[in-house]
Every structure is written in C-alpha cells, then in structure tokens.
Amino acid sequence: MSSETVKVIGAGLAGVEAAWQLANAGVRTELYEMKPVKFSPAHKKPTFAELVCSNSLKAERVESAAGLLKEEMTRLGSLCIECAYKCKVPAGGALAVDRDEFSRLITERIIAHPNITVINKEVTEIPRGNVIIAAGPLASDTLSEKIAEICGSGLHFFDAAAPIVTLESIDMGSAFCASRYERGGEDDYINCPMNKEEYEAFYEALVNAEGAETHSFDKRKDVYEGCMPIEVMASRGRDTMRFGPLKPVGLRDPRTGHRPWAVLQLRKENSKGTLFNLVGFQTNLKFGEQKRVFSMIPALKNADFVRYGVMHRNTFIDSPRLLKGDFSLKERPSLFFAGQITGVEGYMESAASGIMAGINILRRLQNRETLILPETTMIGALSRYISDPTVTNFQPMGANFGVLPPIEPKIRDKKERYTALSRRGLADFENYLNGGES
C-alpha cells in the first residue's frame, strides 16, 4: 500500500463516501470543504452531505431502480445509507430522512475517523497526485475555472435538458422511424406525429402549464438564450413550434402518405437504443406538468419518463469525452471525479459514484485493476452511461431501469420485469465481486 495521502475535494455525499472508503482501507485522506469559510448559493449549514432540495432518497424496495441502487451501495459499505437508516422518517415506500440529523451524523463519523483530516478552505488550484474532485453541481467559480482548464471546453455551467423516455414505452403504432429528407439512417429518429386537432390541444395545454420555481442563482439569461424552453417558444405564437423543433418538413407519415401537421422527433440517448430524448424539448415546467402535457402527444400517451427536463445551474463535465468508466480522467489517471459533476443525477447516484471513485483510487494505489461493475447493475450501468463515447448531447442521468440491458425474452408486466431486472443485477453484482476479479 502506498503511503501517499489522497486528497478529496468536497464533502458532499460523493466526497464523504470516497473519503470513507479510503480511510477504512487505511489510506490517509485529506477532505477539503470550503464551508463554513464560504458557502455556495444553495448551501446554508456548515455540516457535510447537506441535503438541499429534498429529504427523500427515493424508493426503498429493491425491485425499483432507486432501491436497487441503494442495495448495491449497502453491499459496498455506504456511509450515507448507514446514516440514513439511523435518522429515517415515515415516507411511505421511500427512504426519507431528518435532513439535519443525517448531515450531523455523517459529519460526526467523518471527523472522528483517525485516517481523515478535514481542511476547511476553498480549493483554488487542483492539487497534483492522487485526487478526487467531488465539488458538486455548485462548485465555486474559481474551482470551476480550474476544472475547465483541465477539461478544455467540456464543462457545462447550466443544465438545460430535455426529457428522456424508454423505448419500450413509446407507442410505435402512433410513431414511425425516419430521418428528415431521408438523410442518415432510417432508425436515427423516432417521429411522433400530430394532426392539427392534436397539435392545437397540445399547444393550449403547454402554454397554460405551470412552471417550476426558479432559484435566484438559476436566474441567468444565458440559460434561455442558447436553449429556449419549449413553453417559452410556444408562448411566442401558435405555430412557432411548427417552425422549430416540431417542424414536419422533410417527413412523411407512412400510415397516411402525407406530411403531418407537426412532428416531435425522438433521438437515441444511449448506444443500446433503450432511451430516447425529446429533441428540442428543454423545459422548466414542473415534473407533473411535463408528464401530463407531453403525454398528450399520441406516441407518448403511455411514456415512461426516466428523466424530466430541467433548466438550472448544474456544473458538470463532458464525461463521455473525458472520463473512463472507473471515474478517472483519461488524460490524468490519478485524478478522479465523483458526484453530480460527472453527470450522475441525484443524491444516491452521487454518493454511489463517490464510493466507486474511492474504491478505484484505492486499487490504483494497490497497483490493481480498477472496477467497473457489470452493465446489469445500477451502478455499473450509470458508470457506463457517463463514460459512453457514443452519447451525444450529454445530459445528467439518475437511476432508472432504462439504462440497464433489457431482459430477454421480454417480460410485459412492468412489476415482474422490474423484479427480474433487480434480481439479475444483484446476482451479477455478487458474481462479479466474488468471482475472480483481480
């Protein structure tokens, strides 16, 4: 084992998990956290792993995507899962916590660990040596600039993302595959046509839908100039969308032989073609409104939205270009990234990436091969998604069954299908960790 100290930047959920993995393995770890010297616009408390937006860590049952993720984390020795169950509050089928107690418990455990030294200061230069950057989606401006220098142009300061749906939930009886003007492959896009009556109803619902609350640190005009929300575009005129992302020109519906009145195009989000992006549908509508309004498009009437559109401050790197599946930087193997800055989205997803970054930098120190869990596991699928070089228009992604390879033969019942996916994932997880890994 190397005697070198590992530096972890950021004491959010990803940073504390990474530090915990290293410290428990006997590695001296320096954990840098700028609070309470300096706070981001969203953070208010001096403690670690502060939950800002919600106290829910999503579903508990292992047959759900969120539950499968948490079970994998538990089996890897997650500090966050351990502390979450110590301060759990009633929330139906979800794992919800007392936010203050959750953060206090984690801070207490980290500070008390003999192998962790906490350094309260803003990091303004990225250190040399073995480093994990877990600075979160609101990294300080100075640190963001330094990350941008290392990553080149691949640093996004705002998350302007369209919704993503699963292939299997698209009603292909109401859709057709084609590229505009027959340019490109015939299956490059799934086209969701609307006739005039369907479009008019969709338009009325969209312009009257309720938008999400915008925080003060999100109110930047450049979020909207380069990537206009679809509801803002719609408000500029009844036919504005038909001359923009819903333009039907160059497309012919094989069911009618004619050009539709309007067409929403869906583009592959991953190399396996299990997830599709609603092209041009960046939005700031509330999630429930997105489900209600976008499901009015006939081909999406039963759509399973694995990710809703968002428009907010969210610093993340172009991970498919920059990172390996073990969360290390391709051009600098001793530098790892973890948390939402990698493009995983959600509290537990961030924590899980911290676990893997901690495990893998430890294995580097031990001169062992790093780990990338099987693609059938939730952690493995997410690590592959953020490092898949075929992903274009990269958007952050949370745990969902759409990122996993489908079960063959297909199981039509959703509950049975999710149970089978979960069982397969946990079996492969155990086989991988117990079967001949170096």
Query: What is the residue whose two structure tokens read 């999400």?
Result: 212
Parallel, antiparallel, or unpaired: how do β-strands 116-119 and 176-177 relate? unpaired
Tell me what the mean pLDDT of segment 250-269 comes to.
91
Residue 149 lies in a domain: yes
**pLDDT tens digits, 111-121:** 999 999 999 99
User: Which domain, by its residues, includes 50?
Assistant: 6-160+313-434
Nearest by Cα to 130 from 37, 2, 5, 270: 5
Q: Judge whether residue 52 has pLDDT over 50.
A: yes
pLDDT at 271: 72
Q: N- to C-terminal Cα distance for the chain? A: 16
291 membership: H or E segment, kind and range: helix 287-294
Assess whether 322 and 301 both reside in one domain: no
Task: Establish if 1 belongs to a structural domain.
Answer: no
- The pLDDT of residue 438 is 41
CA 427 to CA 423: how far, in whole Å? Answer: 6
Mean pLDDT of 238-264: 93
Amino acid sitting at position 433: L
Final residue belonging to a domain, choices 267, 291, 308: 308
Same domain, 125 and 185: no
CATH of the domain at 66: 3.50.50.60
| Nearest by Cα to 27 from 8, 48, 49 | 8
- Strand, coil or helix: 358: helix
Domain boundary (274, 308, 342) is at: 308
343 shares its domain with 427: yes
Better-predicted residue by pLDDT, 71 or 409: 71
Give mean pLDDT, residues 250-277: 89
pLDDT given for residue 128 in this prediction: 93
My answer on whether 346 and 404 are in the same domain is yes
What is the tally of structural domains in the chain? 2
* Nearest one of 398, 390, 422 to 305, comparing CA atoms: 398
Q: Could you tell me if residue 37 is inside a domain?
A: yes
Within this chain, do residues 424 and 384 fall inside the same structural domain, yes or no?
Answer: yes
Mean local confidence (pLDDT), 21-33: 97
Closest CA to 363 of 309, 318, 403, 327: 327
- Most confident region among 34-48, 223-237, 257-271, 341-355 by mean pLDDT: 341-355
Confidence of residue 226 (pLDDT cuts 50, 70, 90): very low
Domain CATH for 183: 2.40.30
The answer to whether 160 touches 316, Cβ cutoff 8 Å, is no
